């Protein structure tokens, strides 16, 4: 697990705004400190050098207000090697 960042505020749509320490892909799953699924990355907003992550919360399990100030985590993807070379088509 990798640190996503700290939850700063809850939006009007009950999404979490997280001050990011890393930039995950949209759709990545987000977890709390007990590794319970909180939701997924919905959008990335703000400046490139200090982005904010919008997390869509699973409302059936979580109250978004209870997560303000907490650190969230995400499952970092493994680095996949690109295929190089191979047969060329004409």
- In this prediction, residues 9-21 reach a mean pLDDT of 94
**Does 80 fall in a domain?**
no
35: left (phi over 0), alpha (psi -120 to 50) or beta: left
**Does 58 fall in a domain?**
yes
* pLDDT tens for each residue of 23-55: 899 999 999 999 999 999 999 999 988 999 999
**Does 82 fall in a domain?**
no
Residues written for the chain: 90
* CATH number, position 70: 2.40.10.230
**Does 86 fall in a domain?**
no
Q: What is the number of other CB atoms lying within 10 angstroms of the CB of residue 24? A: 21
Residue 75 has pLDDT above 80, yes or no: yes
10 Å CB burial of residue 44 (0-12, 13-18, 19+) is middle
Segments forming the whole domain that contains residue 43: 2-74
**Does 89 fall in a domain?**
no
Number of domains in the chain: 1
- Confidence label for 82 from pLDDT (cuts 50, 70 and 90): low
């Amino acid at each position: 697990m990798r640190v996503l960042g700290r939850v700063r505020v809850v939006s009007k749509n009950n999404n979490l705004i997280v001050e990011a320490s890393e930039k995950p892909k949209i759709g990545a799953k987000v977890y709390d400190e007990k590794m319970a699924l909180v939701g997924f990355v919905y959008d990335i907003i703000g400046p490139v050098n200090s982005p904010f992550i919008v997390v869509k919360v699973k409302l059936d399990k979580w109250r978004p207000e209870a997560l303000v100030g907490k650190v969230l985590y995400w499952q970092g993807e493994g680095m996949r090697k690109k295929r190089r070379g191979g047969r060329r088509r004409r």
